[in-house]
Structure 1
Amino acid sequence: MLTKLLGGGSKDKHVPHAKKENLVRIEKPIENLPDSIKTHKFKSLTKEQEHMYAEVLKYFQDEKLLVRNSEKHSDGSDPHAKSPLTLEEKAWLTRECLLRYLRATKWNVSDAIDRLKKSLAWRREFGISHLGEENGDKVNSDLVGIENESGKQVVLGYENDARPILYLKPGRQNTKTSHRQVQHLVFMLERVIDFMPQGQDSLALLIDFKEYSDVPKVSGNSKIPPIGVGKEVLHILQTHYPERLGKALLTNIPWLAWTFLKLIHPFIDPMTREKLVFDEPFPKYVPVNQLDVLYGGELDFKYKHNVYWPSLLEMAESKRRHYMKRFQKFGSVVGLSEYDLRGDGEELIYKV
């Protein structure tokens, strides 16, 4: 990545389009993983890893555990205020969640526990700790809906390894820089996580910096975020969504965007850098029947906010209800597996 960052920008590339007869018109998200893409059970742990995982699990299974209600106390809350884990927070603390934080801390038990507690506090303060607006999340569709009216972020399709795809299109920016833009990104990250199939716990980002003439320019704004916003987003992704990014494909990167990437490069952790792919053909990583025609796929996707947005919300809520129903079915305990919670089997594959 560093070598690429030291280079220049890139112009829009010619992308070979699929044959017209193969195109599929679509205006809504793809609700489920196609049969042509397979997932697998999660990797087994070594005995040492099982022991470290058991330590973290035991800590968060403690019914007397209290967690801070905010990370930075920017809401003016009591910095010492704590409360027990809620039902939704226990559902968030899955086997895979604990393992993601262990991997991110290089299997340091105390560091993993500390980071998990900080993320729980951040989720409470940010307003997403209830796993959906139907359960009381403050960052909801009413708040961020205006941000997506131009279709600048879209959940659509699955890549080769069954990761759900979130398209980010800064060139369709329709609002002035504000904290709501960060709330919108987090909201969409939570939605693409809702779309994860059984056996997959990471996502793919497809980032296109192309300018779009149909989106009116916003006075005093740029499709490249200020460095402060970029650092905040990086902090959120790396600190509170560790191991969630499976692949990030970037295309149509202008000189200004390369400059921005150079500036934030020191803040990108090495594990994230390895997952960034620059200006390679998207069909190399995404089946054409899951990919937007703009990038060489067969999906003739047109964003219509009054069609796409309610469909996204309805599908995501349905998936969350399925997840929570199975969480309660299997005892509402910390450490249940996302493989079981996203599945439909009658027995647990990964017992707590």
Structure 2
Amino acid sequence: MRPSCQNTKSPKGQIRFLVYCMENAIMNLPDNQEQMVWLIDFHGFNMSHLSIKVSRETAHVLQEHYPERLGLAILYNPPKIFEPFWKMVKPFLEPKTCNKVKFVYSDDNLSKKILEDIFDMEQLEVAFGGENSDLSFNFEKYAERMREDDLKFYGNTPVSSTSAHFTNSDSEVSDTEMKRLEDIPDEKIKTGTS
């Protein structure tokens, strides 16, 4: 994930895309695997990418609808401005979830060890301290893969990150719940009331 590369300011659209990606990732997990490692690259991240509303709703969706899917979240090179933001988000997370979050910095050898213990460094992108310089994001290939997965998992039912109704075996993210984003004023979120 690369927060600095988001292309929408719509909180509802961002959450719907998160759910779409989560469902797609779950459907592509090997049969014997339940959890995922998230590698979040903060290169290029700044205050304009920061949204308390989206962060709070992201925490809610992940904890309520995907409680045991996170194996580990690696925050790679988060900027200093992220530290106070993390302190604001942390109270909305379960302690068990907080313990799964690791801060990794490219200039810290102990941090690099975390990556080396988890990833094959020959396969990991150079951007994350790995050795693979052949990887680059290609939107056309990504979009084609998502279309193929949509057909494979949903048949001819139209699916997109902005119009789909997503479910997993345990729960459902409804349009009513998604509407909560629009109904909670920003100032109430900042004070922690709803």
TM-score by length of 2: 0.67
Measured after TM superposition, the shift of residue 208 of structure 1 is: 1.0
1:313 to 147, 158, 163: 147
Counterpart position of 1:83 = none
RMSD (Å), alpha carbons: 2.6
Contact persistence 1:208–1:250 (CA under 8 A): yes
- Taking the aligned partners of 2:17 and 2:101, their CA distance within structure 1 comes to 22
Which residues of 2 match residues 205-216 of structure 1 at below 5 A? 205-211=38-44
The Cα offsets for residues 23-78 of structure 1, whole Å up to 9 and x where unpaired, read as xxxxxxxxxxxxxxxxxxxxxxxxxxxxxxxxxxxxxxxxxxxxxxxxxxxxxxxx
Q: Which structure shows the bigger proportion of residues in helix conformation?
A: 2
Asked if residue 267 in structure 1 is aligned to residue 101 in structure 2, the reply is no
Which residues of 2 match residues 242-281 of structure 1 at below 5 A? 242-279=67-104, 280-281=111-112
Counterpart position of 1:300 = 134
Between Structure 1 and Structure 2, how many residues are aligned?
A: 148
Q: Percent identity?
A: 34
The Cα offsets for residues 294-325 of structure 1, whole Å up to 9 and x where unpaired, read as 1114262222212221123314643x37xxxx
- Taking the aligned partners of 1:299 and 1:188, their CA distance within structure 2 comes to 25
SS of 2:72's equivalent? strand
TM-score by length of 1: 0.39
Counterpart amino acid of residue 283 in structure 1: E
Counterpart position of 2:116 = 283
Structure number with bigger Rg: 1
- Residues 300 and 316 of structure 1: CA distance in aligned 2, closer, same or farther (over 3 Å): farther
Measured after TM superposition, the shift of residue 251 of structure 1 is: 1.1
Contact persistence 2:35–2:70 (CA under 8 A): yes
- Residues 270 and 223 of structure 1: CA distance in aligned 2, closer, same or farther (over 3 Å): same
Contact persistence 2:76–2:103 (CA under 8 A): yes
Asked if residue 223 in structure 1 is aligned to residue 49 in structure 2, the reply is yes
Where does the alignment leave 5 or more consecutive residues of structure 2 unmatched?
105-110, 155-168, 170-194
Counterpart amino acid of residue 302 in structure 1: S
Which residues of 2 match residues 226-237 of structure 1 at below 5 A? 226-237=51-62
Asked if residue 194 in structure 1 is aligned to residue 27 in structure 2, the reply is yes
- Taking the aligned partners of 1:188 and 1:299, their CA distance within structure 2 comes to 25
